[in-house]
Amino acid sequence: MSRSSFPSQRPRRLRQAPWLRNLVQEHRLHVSDLIWPIFVQEGDQLASPIESMPGVERLTIDLAIQKAQEAQQLGIPAIAIFPATPPTLKTPEAEEALNPENLACRAVRAVKAEAPNIGIICDVALDPYSSHGQDGLVRNGIVVNDETVEVLCRQAVVQAEAGCDVIAPSDMMDGRVGAIRKALDSAGFEQVSILAYAAKYASAFYGPFRDAVGSAANLGSGDKKTYQMNPSNTQEALQEVALDIQEGADMVMVKPGMPYLDIVQRVKATFEVPTFAYQVSGEYAMLSAAAEKGWLNREQVMMESLLAFKRAGADGILTYFALEVARSLAENGS
C-alpha cells in the first residue's frame, strides 16, 4: 500500500507522548507469557547461589515451594523444574532418571500439593542423571538413539505419575516425541501435554545451565553436536518442528532464544502452532553481568529482550527473569 511521504507523513507524531505510544503499541509483554525455570537441590532451607547466573539460586524443595507460591500469586502460569542431582547418584545408564523418588519427582509432588494452580513442566533427558553428561545412553562412544528413546519414555511416565503437567523432551533424539506420546497414552496420561524442544541448537550459550545442574564437569570436553542442531541451519529447524508436530507435540520450542529469533519467527509463521522460546542461561548471564558492571540498565534490557521474543512470534518464554518481570509488571499495573 502506497502512502504519502514527508511532510504529510510524520511518524514521530505517534511517539510524542506516553499515552499515544501505548495506544499504538503493536506488542506487549504480559505475565501470562512467562515460564520460570527453577533449580532444585537436596537439603532443607538452603539456597545456593549459582556463580555463573547472578541472582539465580539452587533451592531445596521447601524453598522451591515458597517461590512457586509467589509465582502463582503473581500470575506466572508455569514453572519448569530442573534437578541438581547429587553426583553419587549419577551413573552411565542414568538409572536415577527412572526413580519415582528422585529429586525432580519429589519436587513436582511437593509443589503440586502446595501451589496447585501453577503448571509444572519437566524436561525429559538424561544429562542431569548421567555420569557422562550426555542426554542419551552412550555405546562405544556414540550417543545411541533408539535405546535412549526407550528410557526417555519410561522417564516421561515417571514424571507424569509424580504430577507433571507438561513433558518437555529436550534430548533431540529422533522419534522421541511420538514414542513418548504413545507411552503416556498407554499409561493413562492422555491429558499430559508435550512441549517439544523441537529446534534445539548445539549452542555455546548453555554453559551456566550446565553449572547449575552439575553436568558441566561430567560432560568435560565433550559436546552434543551429533544430536543437537547445527547453529548454521534454518531449514533443518523447520523439518524438526514438522516431525515433532506430526508425532504429537502440542507445543514446540526454539532454544536458545535471542540468537535464534529468526527461527522463532519462521516456526510461528510456518506452522501457526503454540511456539515457545527459551532465553537460556548464557543469555541471562550476559545481561545480568553487564548490569552488575553498570554497563546496562537491568530492568530495561530485561524487558526489551523479552519483548523481542513477543515481536518474533513467541507465545511463551522460558526465562530466569520471570519472577523479576512478574513483580515489575505487577508494580506497573501491566
In what helix (H) or strand (E) does residue 177 lie, and over which residues does it extend? helix 176-186
301: which residues sit within 8 A by CB, 6+ positions away? 287, 290, 291
**φ, ψ for residue 199, nearest 5 deg:** -125, 85
Collapsed DSSP state (helix, strand, coil) of residue 219: helix
Q: Cell digits for 249?
A: 507435540
**φ, ψ for residue 48, nearest 5 deg:** -105, 115
Residue 45: count other Cβ atoms within 10 Å of its Cβ. 8
Collapsed DSSP state (helix, strand, coil) of residue 266: helix
Strands (E) across the chain are located at 34-41, 47-49, 57-60, 78-83, 119-124, 138-139, 142-143, 166-169, 193-200, 251-255, 275-279, 316-319
Do 251 and 276 form a contact (C-beta atoms < 8 A)?
yes
Collapsed DSSP state (helix, strand, coil) of residue 173: coil
State the helix-helix crossing angle for 146-162 and 103-114, rounded to 10 degrees: 30
Question: What are the catalytic residues?
Answer: 200, 255
Q: Distance (Å, rounded) from C-alpha 76 to C-alpha 88?
A: 34
